[in-house]
């Protein structure tokens, strides 16, 4: 481990800097057959033999559907001022069209009001990957109609829930919801078709634009943005081949999703890669990219969300995917093999601010998995996560010192939860969850984060919680 100041100290961030935690509906809620919820693509994908580690599912997950009030109490005790959560589309609109499900609306109204009652500011994500299965049966995100229905859904959500949150994130990580889901087969619906993936990517971005427009129309005060996953990529060596391989991966991981949102076009080299699948910057009536799409996708937002996890060096290698071998920068001690290199977060934030947007930035996810377990003293000691967080939160201050307008940080995640294809094998939480008993135990990192937030708050410290 590198030497790092591990104290929960003032970082020189402004008093209104937003510290929060993040989760997503399918990863924590459970209650999949309750409250009128319809099936989502994740219910179908988790039922597919071999798709998920140990055949696990989100059927119960953290049982947050029933335990949300106690979970919010714990969040408040830890003095966490903001909570990024997602709405399950199929809980709110079981088939992805038609009227909203009143029980789903009631659940989320209580949840959002519950945040506010406890002084926690909700940041709401409209789409965090759990497409209603009925829409997948009709073709899913590769179909343009899915984006249109998403826009209509966003309008209904704005009408029913829009009074309870100021910040709205339209789509979480379109790269995962398209490429990982329709190209690499790793996520629901588990397809491996590049054509579908490219169409899904464009329609997810279009869905963002339509949702942004709907939120603006119904809730003019709302602050709206999209969250992209941004990986830090750099060539492994000095040669032109490594640089070219890096540029190719950058197109596939980052620029395909950043260019249209922040520059209003895919750009020549992105189009060149995906032209065989129909991607164009020319808008045509019959093509994938239709008249008006790019204006919708790039319509002014209020902030840019960025999720950051990986720091990768890229070596040209004809035997690897797209001729590029990916090497995680050392030290890479997290369970996923991802790096603990906070300078990568600073680099990503700087890149967004210099190459892509003047909008305020929010880090809407960042975190790491380790082998956490309850020790005989009843605690969960996770010094590696404290080390990780000390670095990545200091990186925010470094980015601000370099002139980047980063305004918030949401730690992934509040609870250990269902980590998609990896099931429950990867623990991202600052709160340990015993999935047998549903007992929650704040890890040492939760107490550290509480202290960091206190140290960085202007005004009186938050009240003592029961975990001091
Ligand atoms: O758990 C996921 C989350 O749902 C989306 N961003 C990355 C996290 C860690 O893999």
Q: What 3-state class would DSSP assign to 303?
A: coil
Q: Measured from the CB, is residue 155 less than 6 Å from ligand 1?
A: no
Closest-CA residue, ligand 1 atom 2, reads 419
Contact (Cβ atoms closer than 8 angstroms) between residue 181 and residue 189: yes
For the CA of 24, the closest atom of ligand 1 is: 4
Q: What 3-state class would DSSP assign to 62?
A: coil
CA–CA separation, 361 and 349 (whole Å): 8
For the CA of 27, the closest atom of ligand 1 is: 4
Percent of the chain with pLDDT strictly greater than 90: 95
Contact (Cβ atoms closer than 8 angstroms) between residue 346 and residue 337: no
For residues 80-98, b (16+ Cβ closer than 10 Å) or e, as one string?
bbbbbbbbbbbbbbbbbee
Instruction: Kindly tell me the sign of the dihedral angle through the C-alpha atoms of 259, 260, 262, 264.
Output: positive
pTM over 0.75, yes/no? yes
Give the other-Cβ count within 10 Å of 135's Cβ.
24
Residue 463 has pLDDT above 80, yes or no: no
Give the other-Cβ count within 10 Å of 227's Cβ.
28
Q: Sorting pLDDT into bands at 50, 70 and 90, what band is 224?
A: very high
- Mutation probe of ligand 1 site: the residue of 24, 171, 181, 364 with most atoms within 8 A of C-beta: 24
Sequence-distant (≥ 6) Cβ neighbours of residue 29 within 8 angstroms: 58, 61, 62, 64, 65, 88, 91
CA of 77 to the centre of ligand 1 (A): 25
Residue-wise pLDDT for 17-68, tens only, equals 999 999 999 999 999 999 999 999 999 999 999 999 999 999 999 999 999 9
The crossing angle, in degrees rounded to 10, of helices 194-218 and 144-161 is: 30
Between the alpha carbon of residue 415 and those of residues 28, 52, 81, 395, 412, the distances in Å are: 8, 20, 16, 23, 8
CA of 186 to the centre of ligand 1 (A): 13
Contact (Cβ atoms closer than 8 angstroms) between residue 356 and residue 304: yes
Q: Sorting pLDDT into bands at 50, 70 and 90, what band is 96?
A: very high
For the CA of 365, the closest atom of ligand 1 is: 6
Q: Measured from the CB, is residue 416 less than 6 Å from ligand 1?
A: no
Side-chain-facing half-sphere of 390: CA atoms under 13 Å: 20
Contact (Cβ atoms closer than 8 angstroms) between residue 260 and residue 297: yes
* Catalytic residue of the set 29, 160, 365, 384: 365
- Mutation probe of ligand 1 site: the residue of 365, 392, 416 with most atoms within 8 A of C-beta: 365
Instruction: Kindly tell me the sign of the dihedral angle through the C-alpha atoms of 450, 452, 457, 461.
Output: positive
173 carries an active-site annotation: yes
Give the pLDDT confidence score for residue 465 in this predicted structure. 45
Q: What 3-state class would DSSP assign to 415?
A: strand
Residue with tokens 């996810």: 365
Q: Sorting pLDDT into bands at 50, 70 and 90, what band is 462?
A: very low
Closest-CA residue, ligand 1 atom 10, reads 419
- Mutation probe of ligand 1 site: the residue of 25, 420, 424, 430 with most atoms within 8 A of C-beta: 420
CA of 58 to the centre of ligand 1 (A): 14
Side-chain-facing half-sphere of 28: CA atoms under 13 Å: 27
CA–CA separation, 343 and 391 (whole Å): 8
Residue-wise pLDDT for 170-223, tens only, equals 999 999 999 999 999 999 999 999 999 999 999 999 999 999 999 999 999 999
Q: Measured from the CB, is residue 196 less than 6 Å from ligand 1?
A: no
Q: Which of 126-140, 327-341, 399-413 has the lowest mean pLDDT?
A: 327-341
Nearest to 25, CA basis, from 116, 91, 73: 91
Residue 375 has pLDDT above 70, yes or no: yes
For residues 298-337, b (16+ Cβ closer than 10 Å) or e, as one string?
bbebbbbbbbbbbbbbbbbbeeeeebbbbebbeebebbbe
Give the pLDDT confidence score for residue 170 in this predicted structure. 99
Instruction: Output the DSSP codes for 107-154.
Output: HHHHHHHHHHHTT-EEEEEEESS--BHHHHHTT-TTSHHHHHHHHHHH
Closest-CA residue, ligand 1 atom 9, reads 419
- Rounded average pLDDT over 353-363: 98
Q: Measured from the CB, is residue 412 less than 6 Å from ligand 1?
A: yes
Average of per-residue pLDDT values in the chain: 96
CA of 419 to the centre of ligand 1 (A): 7
CA of 172 to the centre of ligand 1 (A): 9
For the CA of 367, the closest atom of ligand 1 is: 9
Give the pLDDT confidence score for residue 383 in this predicted structure. 97
β-strands 304-307, 232-235: how paired? unpaired
Q: What angle do CA 376, 382, 388 make, to 5 degrees?
A: 175
Percent of the chain with pLDDT strictly greater than 70: 97
Give the pLDDT confidence score for residue 3 in this predicted structure. 82
Residue-wise pLDDT for 254-296, tens only, equals 999 999 999 999 999 999 999 999 999 999 999 999 999 999 9
Q: Measured from the CB, is residue 24 less than 6 Å from ligand 1?
A: yes
- Rounded average pLDDT over 382-399: 98
Contact (Cβ atoms closer than 8 angstroms) between residue 288 and residue 210: no
Q: Measured from the CB, is residue 419 less than 6 Å from ligand 1?
A: yes
Give the pLDDT confidence score for residue 459 in this predicted structure. 42
Q: Measured from the CB, is residue 361 less than 6 Å from ligand 1?
A: no
Q: Sorting pLDDT into bands at 50, 70 and 90, what band is 466?
A: very low
For the CA of 336, the closest atom of ligand 1 is: 10
CA of 255 to the centre of ligand 1 (A): 19
Q: Residue 181 is encoded by which pair of tokens?
A: 């889901």
φ, ψ at 167 (rounded to 5°): -100, 130
- Rounded average pLDDT over 385-394: 98
* Catalytic residue of the set 56, 77, 173, 384: 173
Q: Sorting pLDDT into bands at 50, 70 and 90, what band is 2?
A: low
Going by the DSSP 8-state scheme, the letter that residue 301 receives in this structure is -
Q: Measured from the CB, is residue 382 less than 6 Å from ligand 1?
A: no
Q: Residue 290 is encoded by which pair of tokens?
A: 């239709």
Please give the helix or strand (H or E) that residue 233 lies within, else none.
strand 232-235
For the CA of 229, the closest atom of ligand 1 is: 6
Nearest to 183, CA basis, from 191, 171, 174: 191
Q: Measured from the CB, is residue 130 less than 6 Å from ligand 1?
A: no
Q: Sorting pLDDT into bands at 50, 70 and 90, what band is 137?
A: very high
Q: Measured from the CB, is residue 65 less than 6 Å from ligand 1?
A: no
Contact (Cβ atoms closer than 8 angstroms) between residue 375 and residue 427: no
- Find the DSSP H helices in 41-80: 41-46, 64-77
Contact (Cβ atoms closer than 8 angstroms) between residue 151 and residue 210: yes
């Amino acid at each position: 481990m590198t030497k790092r100041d591990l104290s929960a100290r003032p970082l020189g961030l402004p008093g209104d800097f937003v510290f929060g935690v993040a989760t997503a509906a399918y990863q924590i809620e459970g209650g999949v057959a309750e409250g009128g919820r319809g099936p989502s693509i994740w219910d179908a994908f988790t039922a597919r033999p071999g798709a998920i580690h140990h055949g696990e599912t989100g059927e119960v997950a953290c049982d947050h559907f029933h335990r949300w009030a106690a979970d919010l109490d714990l969040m408040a005790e830890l003095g966490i001022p903001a909570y990024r959560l997602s709405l399950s589309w199929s809980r709110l609109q079981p088939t992805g069209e038609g009227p909203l499900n009143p029980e789903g609306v009631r659940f989320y109204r209580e949840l959002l009001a519950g945040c506010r009652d406890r002084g926690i500011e909700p940041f709401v994500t409209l789409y965090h990957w759990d497409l209603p299965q009925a829409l997948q049966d009709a073709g899913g995100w590769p179909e343009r109609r899915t984006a249109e229905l998403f826009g209509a859904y966003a309008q209904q959500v704005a009408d029913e829930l829009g009074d309870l949150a100021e910040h709205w994130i339209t789509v979480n990580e379109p790269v995962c919801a398209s490429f990982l889901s329709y190209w690499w087969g790793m996520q629901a619906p588990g397809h491996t078709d590049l054509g579908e993936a490219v169409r899904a990517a464009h329609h997810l971005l279009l869905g963002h634009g339509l949702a942004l427009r709907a939120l603006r129309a119904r809730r003019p005060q709302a602050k709206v943005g999209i969250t992209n996953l941004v990986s830090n990529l750099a060539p492994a060596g000095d040669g032109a081949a490594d640089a070219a391989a890096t540029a190719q991966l950058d197109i596939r991981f980052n620029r395909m999703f950043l260019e249209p949102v922040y520059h209003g076009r895919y750009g020549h080299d992105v189009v060149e890669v995906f032209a065989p699948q129909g991607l164009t910057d020319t808008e045509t009536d019959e093509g994938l990219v239709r008249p008006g799409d790019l204006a919708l996708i790039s319509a002014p937002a209020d902030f840019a969300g960025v999720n950051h996890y990986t720091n990768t060096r890229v070596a040209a290698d004809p035997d690897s995917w797209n001729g590029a071998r990916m090497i995680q920068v050392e030290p890479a001690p997290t369970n996923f093999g991802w790096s603990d290199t906070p300078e990568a977060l600073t680099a990503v934030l700087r890149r967004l601010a210099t190459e892509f947007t003047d909008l305020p930035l929010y880090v809407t996810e960042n975190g790491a998995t380790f082998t956490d377990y309850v020790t005989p003293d009843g605690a969960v000691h996770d010094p590696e996560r404290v080390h990780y967080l000390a670095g990545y939160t200091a990186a925010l201050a470094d980015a601000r010192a370099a002139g980047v307008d980063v305004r918030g940080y949401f730690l992934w995640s509040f609870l250990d939860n269902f980590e998609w294809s990896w099931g429950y094998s990867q623990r991202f939480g600052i709160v340990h969850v015993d999935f047998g008993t549903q007992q929650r135990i704040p890890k040492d990192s939760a107490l550290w984060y509480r202290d960091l937030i206190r140290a960085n708050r202007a005004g009186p410290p938050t009240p003592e919680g029961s975990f001091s």
